[in-house]
Amino acid sequence: MNVDLVVVGSGFFGLTVARQCAEDLGKKVLVIDRRHHIGGNAYSEAEPETGIEVHRYGAHLFHTSNERVWEYCNRYTKFTDYVHRVFSIYQGEVFPLPVSLATINQYFRKALSPTEARALVAEQAGEIDTATAENFEDKAISLIGRPLYEAFFRGYTAKQWQTDPRELPGATVTRLPVRYTYDNRYFNDTYEGLPVDGYTAWLERLADHPNIEVRLETDFFDASQEVSKTNVLGNVPVIYTGPVDTYFDNAEGELSWRTLDFEQEVLPVGDFQGTSVMNYAEEGVPYTRIHEFRHFHPERDYPNDKTVIMREFSRFATSGDEPYYPVNTAEDRRKLLAYRDLAKQEKGVLFGGRLGTYKYLDMHMAIGAALSMVDNKLTPHFRDGAA
């Protein structure tokens, strides 16, 4: 095999590493992926009947405050000026998310000023000290108080994670800002937008380099393939972006992952819900949210008598399911430490991406981490022959 590097997995992490090594370091890179398409879970495609771009593995919203990542991404795609906003249905009423002055005033049927709203939430959150709150539930209550937590987070989180919120990390809830203004942008980042001609076009341009070959439907663990774990290890350096527990045959036990199921429908209406993502806060509704993809690209010329919606359901992944979200309970974190030790000892292999590191990385974080891996590990390795 005449290559300098094998990358397992063609998601943003894998393709960014591949591109940097191919372009800046002049290395020949082979990227393999088990699926029939590139891009991992960021892959999108046009729904055939309507032409509406559907994010096959759930909505992907690009946002970052990292200048380098933003500049890097702009080499391969232009971005629209899409700004993500999310609403949540609770007891038959629609509320804006994340929790803002609008949510607070609507929920309590008040017209509080920012100062008054802060005072009210502080009173309701007083039972828990933010500084010491570590788990999801304590952190949420310390930030927004128990009533808002119970309305907008408890039921949704029960469906999304099916794990006691006291077992989940507090960092998951702090992904969402809390604001005492009427600003209802979902993200706080400096830059935000969607790729003008879609995620797949962006990913394909990232992979499009004479030093990169992408081989699809190639399973790293299938020893009968030319490029498998058994015959590559020790011969060529490997960047592995699949699940870290799978790599080690679950030797330290299985890490828990959430997977998603999607129910897609083409409806004979121009607009189903008036917005791209509607969350369903209550446990009684089996899905967590409904995506309506036309709203991600209002600038496109989509048919106005049809729309594509996708209901999202979350459940524990079992073998054969696609892992999406690391659950990250205390038990998982113990196993992860053991896997990290194994990973460190694994000669010639570096682990990266959401699945390879068991971290809840957003796209911009995966891209940033890939750039750092090239800077800190691969450049010294290839350029200076360091280990």
Q: Is residue 144 at the binding interface for ligand UDP, with CB under 6 A as the rule?
A: no
Least separation in angstroms between CB 152 and ligand UDP? 5
Nearer of residues 166 and 175 to ligand UDP, judged by Cβ? 175
CA atoms within 13 A on the CB side of 44: 23
Nearer of residues 230 and 264 to ligand UDP, judged by Cβ? 264
Beta carbons of 366 and 11 less than 8 angstroms apart: yes
Beta carbons of 259 and 319 less than 8 angstroms apart: no
Alpha-carbon span 256 to 358, nearest angstrom: 10
User: Cis (ω within 30 of 0) for the bond into 243?
Assistant: no
Alpha-carbon span 260 to 380, nearest angstrom: 39
Instruction: List the interface residues with ligand UDP, window 209-228 (CB under 6 A).
Output: none
Nearer of residues 77 and 172 to ligand UDP, judged by Cβ? 172
134 catalytic residue (yes or no): no
34 catalytic residue (yes or no): no
Q: Is residue 12 at the binding interface for ligand UDP, with CB under 6 A as the rule?
A: no
Least separation in angstroms between CB 73 and ligand UDP? 19
312 catalytic residue (yes or no): yes
Instruction: List the interface residues with ligand UDP, window 93-122 (CB under 6 A).
Output: 97
Alpha-carbon span 3 to 193, nearest angstrom: 35
Least separation in angstroms between CB 284 and ligand UDP? 15
Instruction: List the interface residues with ligand UDP, window 255-314 (CB under 6 A).
Output: 279, 281
CA-CA distances (angstroms) from residue 268 to 49, 275, 305, 307? Answer: 11, 17, 6, 7
311 catalytic residue (yes or no): no
Nearer of residues 154 and 381 to ligand UDP, judged by Cβ? 154
Q: Tell me which of 154, 258, 294, 354 is the catalytic residue.
A: 258
Alpha-carbon span 219 to 227, nearest angstrom: 8
197 catalytic residue (yes or no): no
Alpha-carbon span 169 to 248, nearest angstrom: 25
179 catalytic residue (yes or no): yes
Residue recorded with tokens 């702090």:
174
Phi, psi of 197 (to 5 degrees): -110, 30
16 CB-near residues (< 8 Å, 6+ apart) = 72, 206, 366, 367, 370, 371, 374
362 catalytic residue (yes or no): yes
Instruction: List the interface residues with ligand UDP, window 179-208 (CB under 6 A).
Output: none
Here's the x/- map for ligand UDP, 145-174, by CB under 6 A: it reads as -------xx--xx--x-----------xx-
Q: Tell me which of 68, 75, 166, 175 is the catalytic residue.
A: 175
Least separation in angstroms between CB 364 and ligand UDP? 13
Q: Is residue 142 at the binding interface for ligand UDP, with CB under 6 A as the rule?
A: no
Q: What is the β-pairing status of strands 29-32 and 5-8? A: parallel
Q: Is residue 41 at the binding interface for ligand UDP, with CB under 6 A as the rule?
A: no
Nearer of residues 22 and 97 to ligand UDP, judged by Cβ? 97
Q: Look up residue 211 and give its two tokens.
A: 């030093």
Alpha-carbon span 94 to 91, nearest angstrom: 8
Q: Tell me which of 19, 289, 294, 354 is the catalytic residue.
A: 289
Q: Tell me which of 192, 312, 332, 354 is the catalytic residue.
A: 312
Alpha-carbon span 12 to 352, nearest angstrom: 10
Q: Is residue 21 at the binding interface for ligand UDP, with CB under 6 A as the rule?
A: no
Beta carbons of 355 and 336 less than 8 angstroms apart: no
344 CB-near residues (< 8 Å, 6+ apart) = none
Residues that bind ligand UDP (CB under 6 A): 88, 97, 152-153, 156-157, 160, 172-173, 175-176, 279, 281
Active-site residue numbers? 175, 179, 258, 289, 312, 360, 362
